[in-house]
Structure 1
Amino acid sequence: MTDRNDEGGGVAADIGFDALDPALRYKLLVGVVVPRPIAFVTTLGADGQVNAAPFSFFNVFSEEPPLVVLGLQSKPDNSPKDTTANIRRSGEFVVNLVDEDLAEAMNLCAVDFPPEVSELAEAGLTTAPCTDIAVPRIAEAPVSLECRQEMMIAFGPHRDLLIGQVVRLHARAGIIDPVSYRTNMQAYRPVGRLAGSQYSRQSDVFSMVRENLDEWQARQGARPPARSP
């Protein structure tokens, strides 16, 4: 790590990752890439048991095709966790999004329960059937995405990148406008993951209109944009 004083009197960081311990890489990445959306993923075990686990290495990737991505981590012995094993076998999963009311139950489901224990039952949550896949969704979730596996890419023995295609969306009444398809954030109230045990509410929202070039030039008095050297 190279330190230097910045104009504010603090210490600026210049950190190379090649020689950095993975635990420190994790600490840095989850501390600066914030807030992260939370995928509360449900899958089905071979015995029909519903598994539920939260992931913040998650995001939407594309609308055509409609894809989401998940970072899946193995157990310390490099064997797959329940979510990974279930998706490899069935190719199906549900991304349940997390709002303020669901946050505590989601956090409880992060406990490393054995496969025979239902995280949902321990958290007092219930399931509802999906339409296009066999895996159930979480009934208390504000939004749920039915997904099918597109591909899973292994990055070493303990990390997989899952790409899934969204085949159906379920939303609680009042969240999605049925005509405009816009999302009512006041009704949704999603939470985001920060570092450590910290989370964020999304109640402090501001708007910025994105201009096209013609609008920008009109506002600048037809001044042409500065060219790169």
Structure 2
Amino acid sequence: MFLDFETLSPRDTYSWMINTITPRPIAWVSTISATGHTNLAPFSYFQAVCSKPPTLMFSGAVNRHGVSKDSVINVGQVPEFVVNLVPFALAESMNLTATPLPHGESEFEKFGIAGAPSSRVRPPRVAAAPVAFECKLDRILNFGEGPSSSNVVFGTIVCAHISDTVLGPDGQIDPAKLDTIGRMGGDNYVRTRDLFTVARPR
């Protein structure tokens, strides 16, 4: 099979990308608007970018009406956000926050998700998240125009909250205890407990 991405429709392009680029880590992003309304939404177009400075990114698609995600709108108003990692235990709660809500209605309140104060940014973090990265906006890059285009948000990590429950005896992350999930195609997810080791060449 050969796919010509220059001729595929945006819908088909999206389908092929999300079903082949797997598993994708999930950024559960909390933001706050200029008027103080919180937002919590998941993004699977998410990745670490650089460790010096410590930088990550998430990408929010523009909807069919040409409107950006609430998370992106909020970051434009208050240039801070928190990336909460999603373990298996929080998968259902995370999925609920993908529900389209009117701008300004809080997913924390709507779905009974407990928040906790952040240390250096204004948006709250998810209290039960095993890892939460507090970030300050570096830049937003816009790719494309109109529906199905995207706003890519880059943030500098200023601090992190890591639960002691996901640390091993060496004080480092134990992947089995962290138990994060990854996004596959469609409604499918994967747990990250099925590990194997391949030593890097020296």
TM-score (structure 2 length as normaliser): 0.93
Q: Would the aligned equivalents of 1:174 and 1:184 in 2 still touch at CA under 8 Å?
A: no
Cα distance in 2, alignment partners of residues 181 and 165 from structure 1:
24
Cα distance in 2, alignment partners of residues 50 and 63 from structure 1:
28
Structure 2 counterpart of 1:206, from 170, 183, 196: 196
Match status 1:29 vs 2:17: yes
Q: Would the aligned equivalents of 1:54 and 1:110 in 2 still touch at CA under 8 Å?
A: yes
SS in 2 for 1:26: helix
Aligned residues: 199
Match status 1:184 vs 2:170: no
1:17 aligns with 5
Amino acid at match of 1:162: V
Match status 1:171 vs 2:159: no
2:57 aligns with 69
Residue deviations 1:27-75 (CA, integer Å, cap 9, x gap): 1111111110000000002221110000000011111111101111123
Structure 1 position 181, deviation (Å): 5.5
Structure 2 counterpart of 1:162, from 148, 153, 160: 153
Structure 1 position 123, deviation (Å): 2.2
RMSD: 1.4
Q: Would the aligned equivalents of 2:18 and 2:185 in 1 still touch at CA under 8 Å?
A: yes
Cα distance in 2, alignment partners of residues 53 and 84 from structure 1:
10
Cα distance in 2, alignment partners of residues 99 and 23 from structure 1:
29
Structure 1 position 173, deviation (Å): 1.4
Structure 1 position 156, deviation (Å): 2.1
Structure 1 counterpart of 2:87, from 70, 82, 99: 99
SS in 2 for 1:169: strand
| Higher radius of gyration, 1 or 2 | 1
Amino acid at match of 2:68: P
Structure number with higher relative contact order (C-alpha < 8 Å, ≥ 6 residues apart)? 2
SS in 2 for 1:165: strand
Structure 2 counterpart of 1:90, from 50, 53, 78: 78
| Identical-residue share of aligned pairs (%) | 33
Amino acid at match of 2:152: L
1:220 aligns with none
Amino acid at match of 2:11: A
Amino acid at match of 1:109: T
Residue deviations 1:92-117 (CA, integer Å, cap 9, x gap): 00000100111000000000011242
SS in 2 for 1:29: helix
Cα distance in 1, alignment partners of residues 89 and 9 from structure 2:
36
Structure 1 position 82, deviation (Å): 1.1
Unmatched tracts of structure 2, length 5 or more: none
Cα distance in 2, alignment partners of residues 46 and 172 from structure 1:
30
